[in-house]
């Protein structure tokens, strides 16, 4: 629970320019702080408090609970379990660090580094989370599978570069388009019956991507604060809604992967004559 006594919070016009990235959030800005001051902000209410905890609480839940839920010893390709676990954790780690320390006294250079780290986390969930899905979908086509894994890795590397150098929310969202299009083709391949995988997982993976896209669009549109600037400074603004949708997306990814991992234990690729 946040304590009631923190430093005097600032209005938008009194906060440094690099922190004025949403001009519809009018109040509740933390003053420039030391490392210790940023840590103390975990315990009082401000306009980044919700952003920290909507990813901070899920991070600790994923960290502790997912290893108990992933069938590590039952899957021959253990790397898929490792990649999936890291994918679930990566966006929450970068996000919590970014939102906790964005007002550090190091100023804009520290802010830019933290934002890049946040974007790398988002890129990693798209990369590490999808590689096991690609492998399972194309496991009966070894040559195509290797080519697809390499191609998606290169696309992801390009996405990381674009996301970390973009100067706007639109540019950062656009950095993930090629990964999304690749997954659309992958899911179509599975849906049409050429790829393999659990019949139940495709619906879960589709929901995963729809939630992630919705989160990005909500953050880009700045709804609901666009309709009433200042009313959503502390709670229920677009960035917090995006955080919740991202967590829901990760949960659906996890459910889909569990379905696939259970399915491949009994599946054998047909022998070509």
Task: Establish whether 55 is an annotated binding residue.
Answer: no
Report the pLDDT averaged over residues 150-165.
93
CA angle 244, 247, 253 (to 5 degrees): 145
pLDDT digits (tens, 9 = 90+) for 215-243: 999 999 999 999 999 999 999 999 999 99
- Nearest-5° angle of CA 188, CA 193, CA 196? 90
pLDDT tens per residue, range 6-65: 899 999 999 999 999 999 999 999 999 999 999 999 999 999 999 999 999 999 999 999
Question: Residue 261: its pLDDT value, please?
Answer: 95
Residue 170 pLDDT level (bands cut at 50, 70, 90):
confident
Specify whether the CB–CB gap between 134 and 187 falls below 8 A: no
Instruction: Give the pLDDT of residue 4.
Output: 54
Q: Is 99 annotated as a binding residue?
A: yes
Residue 195 has pLDDT above 80, yes or no: no
Mean pLDDT for 120-142 is 95
Residue 239 counted as an annotated binding residue: yes
Residue 167 banded pLDDT, cuts 50, 70, 90:
confident
Mean pLDDT of the chain: 93
173-194 residue pLDDT tens: 888 899 999 999 999 998 887 7
pLDDT digits (tens, 9 = 90+) for 75-110: 888 999 999 999 999 999 999 999 999 999 999 999
Please, which pLDDT band fits residue 123 given cuts at 50, 70 and 90?
Answer: very high
Give the Cβ contact number of residue 109 at 10 Å. Answer: 10
Euclidean distance between CA atoms 220 and 216, whole angstroms: 6
CA distance 173 to 195: 28
* pLDDT on residue 272: 53
The ranges assigned to domains in the chain are 12-264
CA distance 29 to 164: 24
Contact at 8 Å (CB) between 11 and 28? no
Distance, in Å, from the CA atom of 87 to the CA atom of 178, rounded to the nearest integer, reads 18
Give the model's pLDDT for residue 270. Answer: 81
CATH 1.20.1070 assigned to 12-264: yes
Q: Is the whole-model pTM more than 0.75?
A: yes
Write down the pLDDT at residue 162.
92
List Cα–Cα distances, 37 to 33, 46, 98, in angstroms: 5, 13, 14
Q: Which pLDDT belongs to residue 3? A: 54
End-to-end CA gap in the chain: 65
Task: Specify the pLDDT at position 193.
Answer: 78
């Amino acid at each position: 629970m946040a304590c009631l006594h923190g430093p005097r919070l600032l209005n938008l016009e009194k906060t440094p320019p690099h922190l004025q990235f949403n001009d519809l959030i009018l109040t509740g800005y933390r003053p420039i702080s030391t490392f210790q001051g940023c840590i103390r902000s975990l315990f009082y209410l401000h306009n980044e408090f919700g952003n920290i905890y909507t990813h901070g609480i899920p991070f600790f839940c994923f960290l502790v609970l997912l290893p108990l839920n992933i069938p590590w010893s039952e899957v021959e390709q253990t790397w898929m379990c490792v990649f999936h676990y890291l994918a679930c954790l990566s966006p929450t780690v970068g996000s919590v660090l970014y939102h906790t320390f964005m007002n550090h006294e190091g100023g804009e250079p520290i802010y830019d580094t933290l934002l890049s780290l946040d974007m790398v986390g988002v890129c990693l969930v798209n990369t590490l989370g999808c590689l096991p899905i690609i492998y399972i979908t194309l496991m009966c086509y070894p040559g195509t599978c290797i080519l697809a894994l390499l191609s998606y890795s290169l696309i992801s590397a390009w996405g990381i570069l674009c996301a970390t150098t973009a100067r706007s929310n639109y540019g950062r969202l656009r950095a993930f388009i090629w990964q999304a299009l690749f997954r659309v083709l992958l899911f179509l391949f599975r849906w049409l019956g050429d790829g393999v995988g659990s019949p139940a997982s495709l619906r879960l993976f589709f929901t995963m991507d729809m939630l992630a896209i919705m989160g990005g669009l909500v953050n880009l549109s700045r709804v609901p604060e666009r309709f009433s600037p200042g009313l959503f400074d502390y709670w229920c603004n677009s960035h917090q809604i995006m955080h919740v949708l991202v967590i829901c997306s990760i949960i659906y990814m996890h459910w889909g992967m569990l379905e696939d991992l259970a399915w491949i234990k009994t599946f054998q690729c047909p022998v070509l004559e």
